Structure 1
Amino acid sequence: MTAWLTSAPVAWSVIGYVAIIVGGRLLLVREALFDQLINRLFLWSLAALLLYRCTLTPTITSLANQLALGCILMTTTYMATIGRSADAAAEADPGIVWRYHRLRSLIALGATVTIVVAGTSARNDGRLVAMNPDWEGIVTGLAFGVPLLWHTVVYGRLGIRELRSGDPPVWERLVLGIMFVSTAYTWLCEGLSISQSFTGWPALGPQLPRIAASFTLCVIVNVTVVAVPLVRLLGMQAGLDSAARSCRRLSPLWRDLTAAVPEIVLSPAEPRRVDATARLLRMTVEIRDALLHLGPYLPAAPDVPGPEPVRRGKSDWTTIAYAQQLAHAAHARKYGLRPIGSGGAGQLPWLADDFDTELRQLLDLARVWSATTLSGSPTVQPGSASPSRPVFLRHRGFRFPPR
């Protein structure tokens, strides 16, 4: 597995994969403190992966490999800072987080300098530094292993605490579980390296290539997890999220009703970039206002076939009949005809207690609205009473039975 992960095709594919995700996050997911920490963590991960590719070049000594160990330590400083940022005091003051991170970064920098100094003889001999039970190996092992273990423990405690709290939803619990498994895998690799250095067991071959392979595997897993917010944001910008889909389904109904009652439109000059959720909230408010304004123009409801409402697709005849009344009312108001009723707002066929219920009702109405065609014009004239049998919009493929 070590040889496979460090082979050139796989290594460059991983580098490209990480670079694309990190570049996208730097452009689109960078506002929150947590996102900034994540982005910088993977920038250091990308630097380490590139340095590991340099070690395969015959003309370059093991300095690149030693610097890659320093980059790994820098990634762990961000892991520890992420664990620290979950504290209440840190959330209240981001400055606390960055002061904490600067201290961790100085520790990682000092450890990197120690590794480079301890590996001087290895560089002079043109070989990789080995974590053997001699002064060079012990200093290198301590300089690399102690900060790594310390930082990952702080990071792992965050995952354990959140998992035990029982608050996160299923998706967040899955992410936290992946995070903890990845950290535990790092601890396992560290324990195997210590055991191999002092006892010779297990005989897994050179340690540094194995560290590179395990680090690459962890980067692949973790960068895939943090790509989820990026993919979600790209979906929102492409109009593929639930709010954008609901806006598209409501658009024909909203367009026709606001054309009949233009004064209820909140902001005619809508910016080019508007959050889909905010746009959906605005559309529902304006549709509801339009329904209230068109209440006095609603004619009498047509006959409903049968003693009970009959289901037709996902809409019952009550919704279909109301859509036909509403179309008549919109046409009448748009062309300046007088209200049919006494002037008060007509009673709506349903009243929602919450936004989700109201949205489902409006989507059902919009589905019926987009499936209707105009069969005639209102016969109400200014100053006249409502006709005995008004002309409605007929649902496609259906005609109400004669009176």
Structure 2
Amino acid sequence: MLLALSWSETWPDRAVRTRRMVWVAVYLSAAVMLSAGTHARNLGQYIDRTEGWQTVLYFALFSAWCAATGVVITWASIRDVRAGDLRPSHRLTYVLILVVGVWAIEEAISILVSAVCAATGIGRAFVDFRFAANERNFIYLLLLGAIPASAQVMVEIARRLRMDPASRAVRHLTPLWMALMTVCAAEIPRPSQQDPAVGPERRLHRMTVEIRDCLLVLGRYSEQPPDDLPEALAEAVQIVQALRRKTSGATPGRHVRLHASAPGRDIVDERRTLRSIAAHWDEASAHVDGAGLLDGAR
């Protein structure tokens, strides 16, 4: 519950007070639930099936916590999904959290109804169904919980095998990065010492920044991209042409912003654009070489 409450932008202003109130409620309700469960323990049976007001009290507290948490995470998910401007993976995450929240609310209502039936001795079929569902749900929740719990292990295995997204992106961007840095290294600020133990995420971030810096340098040797080629290929050709002009010692001219260096929403957009350029790098180089031969440059 505290985790879900902390998603609110107003959380820093009320964190201490809310945290204290929640924990006090936790200890009080835990004590009451332990006391209410004494009747069923003395009878040697599950409280889910025990008649008496203690069952209703126990599951009223249980359902209150379950429903309150469900309401908080449901509202938080709906609020952020409605805010929009989310990546598909983030939207999917909120939808999954929303499912959990609705499930928690349904569980709270269903379990409380079952407790009332058990306490009054009516609706035995529903009580038996709810009892079996509780046991199954525990397994389902345990398995679902194991998925995110194991995610970091899977990420680490993929990283060690160099199959993680960052390592793959580094491999794809390396030819483009090497070509640009070979020509533009003098104008690009770099660390005096490279750390060989740096992880793929940091290496990818550094590589992305250096490629962007190179594109800014090449802007003074650039012309508009050809309009008779697909967009990604045209952007790659524009970069190759600027690179060749700088290599040949051409005089820098007015800065023309390379389309590939246009900023996106964030560095994720930037990497996606650069990977698209890198995928066409060899084709763009061949295109520029072929155009040069047709023009009689060689």
TM-score higher than 0.5 here?
Answer: yes
2:50 corresponds to which of 132, 145, 151: 132
Specify the alignment match of 1:326 in structure 2. 243
Contact preservation (8 Å) 1:86, 1:158 = no
The reply on whether 1:286 has 2:207 as its aligned counterpart is: no
1:110 Cα shift? 0.7
The reply on whether 1:258 has 2:168 as its aligned counterpart is: no
Q: Unaligned regions of 5+ residues in structure 2, if any?
A: none
Specify the alignment match of 1:311 in structure 2. 229
Superposed, which structure 2 residues align to 1:121-270 within 5 Å? 121-123=42-44, 128=46, 131-133=49-51, 137-139=52-54, 141-162=55-76, 165=79, 166-167=82-83, 170-171=91-92, 172-204=94-126, 209-210=131-132, 212-213=134-135, 215-216=137-138, 219-220=141-142, 223=145, 226=148, 230=152, 237=159, 240-241=164-165, 245-263=168-186, 264-267=188-191, 268-270=193-195
1:146 Cα shift? 2.1
Specify the alignment match of 1:383 in structure 2. none
SS in 1 for 2:194: coil
1:153 Cα shift? 2.7
SS in 2 for 1:311: coil
1:149 Cα shift? 1.9
Identical-pair percentage: 15
**Shift in CA distance, 223/265, structure 1 to aligned 2, threshold 3 Å:** same
Mapped partners of 1:283, 1:291: distance in 2: 12
Contact preservation (8 Å) 1:324, 1:394 = no
Q: Unaligned regions of 5+ residues in structure 1, if any?
A: 1-78, 333-338, 375-391
Contact preservation (8 Å) 1:159, 1:176 = yes
Number of equivalent positions: 281
SS in 2 for 1:162: helix
Q: What TM-score do the two structures reach when normalised by structure 1?
A: 0.53
Superposed, which structure 2 residues align to 1:75-94 within 5 Å? 79=1, 81-82=2-3, 84-86=5-7, 90-92=11-13, 94=15
The reply on whether 1:401 has 2:294 as its aligned counterpart is: yes
1:362 Cα shift? 4.0
**Shift in CA distance, 121/365, structure 1 to aligned 2, threshold 3 Å:** closer
Specify the alignment match of 1:354 in structure 2. 263
Superposed, which structure 2 residues align to 1:43-62 within 5 Å? none
Mapped partners of 1:86, 1:365: distance in 2: 37
Q: Which has the larger radius of gyration?
A: 1
Specify the alignment match of 1:60 in structure 2. none
Contact preservation (8 Å) 1:83, 1:158 = yes
